[in-house]
Amino acid sequence: MSKTILITGAAGFLGSHLCDRFISEGFKVLGMDNFITGDKDNIQHLFDHQNFHFIEHDVTVHIDIDEPIDYILHFASPASPIDYLKIPIQTLKVGSLGTHNLLGLAKSKKARILIASTSEVYGDPLVHPQSEDYFGNVNSIGPRGVYDEAKRFQEAITMAYHRFHGLETRIARIFNTYGPRMRLNDGRVIPAFMGQALRGEDLSVFGEGTQTRSFCYVDDLVEGIYRLLFSDYSNPVNLGNPDEITIIEFANEILKLTNSDQKIIFKSLPEDDPLKRQPDITLAKKLLNWSTKISRKEGMKMTFNYFQNLSDEKLTKIDHKDFSKHIKQ
C-alpha cells in the first residue's frame, strides 16, 4: 500500500513542487494550506488526482486527521520579506504554534517529520560561507526577527521533540530558492526583477547592490529535501546552491536575459538585510550525495519563461497580496 505524506504550505511555491514530486513517487499526498500567501493555481492540476487530497486549514489551529500518516513536510510559513513584514504575528505563530501542532501530530501518528528551516537562522552572518555549526547573528527585535526567530524556535522545538520523545525529525536549512510558481509580486528579488523587466520598469536594486545571495533552482532543492527525508540524520542540513553573486551583477544578468533596455535604480537597503549569504554544502554532499545540477543561467531561463506566460491579471503590479480576509493575528 502506498505511504501517506502530509505537506503543509501545499499551495505555496515550494510546497506545490513537493506535492508534485511525492505524487510522482506514488505517495498519497495530503496537502494542507490556508492560502495566506499561496495560490490555488499552484495545485489546481492535482485536484483530480486520486492520490491527492487537499485540506484547507490554518496549521496554527489544532489539526485533526483520522487516517494514518507516515511522513510530514512542514513548509507552511510566509517566506518573503514583504509577506512577513505585513503579517508578522501570523509568521511567528506558524513557526511556533504551527510547528508545535505538527510535531504533536507526528508523535501521535508515529510519523517522521521534516521542517523547512532557512539560511535566515544565520542572520547577517559573520562567518562565510555558512556551515551548520555556525550559530548565527540575528537581531531578534528587528523587522526580520519575526521570521528568523520563528524559524530558530522551530528548530529548537523540533530538536526537543527528537531528544525528549524520540521523534524522527529532519531539519532542512534552505537557502534562497527560486523557480516557476513564485508569486510575481511577493517582493523577493527574482520575481521583483523579472516582473519589472516584463512591465518595462527600471530594476530596483536595494542599497548599492554589493550584498550577495546564492540562488538555488527549485528542482535541485526538491531533490535535496527528498534525500534528506529518507536519510537517518536529525541535525540541520544546509540545502542551497553555493554559486554566489552580488545583487548588482544579478540585476545586470536579468537585464541581459530579458533583453531589456531599462535602467537600474537604487533604493534604500532594508533594515538588517544580510550583507552576504552562501551555503557550505559539504555536509549535504557527504550525507545525501547531493549537490546542485542546474546553473543560474538555465534556471533563470526556465523561470522567466514561466513569468512571461502568466495571465495579464497576474502580471499587473500589485505590491501586496490582500491578506485581510485570512488574518486573525
Q: What is the set of active-site residues? A: 147
Residue 287: Cβ-neighbour burial (10 angstroms; 0-12, 13-18, 19+):
middle
DSSP symbol at 326: G
Confirm or reject binding of residue 36 to ligand NAD (CB under 6 A). Answer: yes
Binding flag, residue 176, ligand NAD (CB under 6 A): yes
274: contact with ligand NAD by CB under 6 A: no
Residue 24 has phi, psi (to 5 degrees) of -70, -20
| 283 forms part of the interface with ligand NAD (CB under 6 A) | no
Does residue 154 belong to the site contacting ligand NAD (CB under 6 A)? no
Contact residue for ligand NAD among 5, 7, 29, 33 (CB under 6 A): 33
* Among ligand NAD, ligand UDP, none, partner that 247 touches (CB below 5 to 8 angstroms by kind): ligand UDP
Whether residue 68 is preceded by a cis peptide bond, meaning omega within 30 degrees of 0, is no
Least Å from the CB of residue 177 to ligand UDP: 10
Residue 160 or 265 having the CB closest to ligand UDP: 265
Q: How far apart are CA 229 and CA 110, in angstroms?
A: 15
Q: What is the smallest separation between the CB atom of 188 and ligand UDP, expressed in angstroms?
A: 3
Among 5, 6, 7, 13, binds ligand NAD (CB under 6 A): 13
* Contact of residue 101 among ligand UDP, ligand NAD, none (CB under 5-8 Å per partner type): none
> Whose Cβ is closer to ligand NAD: residue 27's or residue 122's?
122
- What the block records as the C-alpha cell of 143 is 523587522
- Work out how close the CB of 267 gets to ligand UDP at its nearest, in angstroms, rounded to a whole number: 7
Among 4, 29, 34, 251, binds ligand NAD (CB under 6 A): 34
Q: Which does 189 bind (CB under 5 to 8 A by kind): ligand UDP, ligand NAD, none?
A: ligand UDP
Within 42-101, which residues bind ligand NAD (CB under 6 A)? 58-60, 75-79, 94, 98
- For the chain, the maximum distance between any two Cα atoms, rounded to a whole number of angstroms, is 58
For 310, the 3-state DSSP assignment is: coil
Which conformational region is residue 89 in: left (phi greater than 0), alpha (psi within -120 to 50 degrees), or beta? alpha
Residue 101, Cβ density class (10 Å: 0-12 exposed, 13-18 middle, ≥19 buried) = buried
C-alpha cell at 24: 510522482
Q: Which is nearer to ligand NAD, 202 or 314 (CB)?
A: 314
Q: Of the candidates 119, 123, 129, 126, which has an alpha carbon nearest to the alpha carbon of residue 278? A: 129
Q: How far is Cα 224 from Cα 111, in angstroms, rounded to an integer?
A: 20
3-state helix, strand, coil in the chain (%, to 5): 40, 20, 40
Q: Please identify, using beta-carbon distances, which residue of 176 and 258 lies nearer to ligand NAD.
A: 176
- Contact residues: ligand UDP, CB under 6 A: 80-81, 176, 187-189, 192, 204-206, 211, 213, 247, 270, 273
C-beta of 192: minimal distance to ligand UDP in Å? Answer: 4
Handedness of CA 197, 199, 200, 206 (dihedral sign): negative
Give the integer Cα–Cα distance in Å for 111 and 105: 8
Bridge-based pairing state of the strands 212-214 and 244-246: antiparallel
Q: Which is nearer to ligand UDP, 31 or 279 (CB)?
A: 279
Total of chain residues touching ligand NAD, rule CB under 6 A: 28
Shorter beta-carbon distance to ligand NAD: residue 191 or 209: 191
Shortest separation between residue 266's beta carbon and ligand UDP, angstroms: 9
Is 181 within 8 Å of 16 (Cβ atoms)?
Answer: yes
Cell 540585476 belongs to residue: 251
Binding site for ligand NAD (CB under 6 A): 8-9, 11-15, 33-38, 58-60, 75-79, 94, 98, 116, 118, 174, 176-177
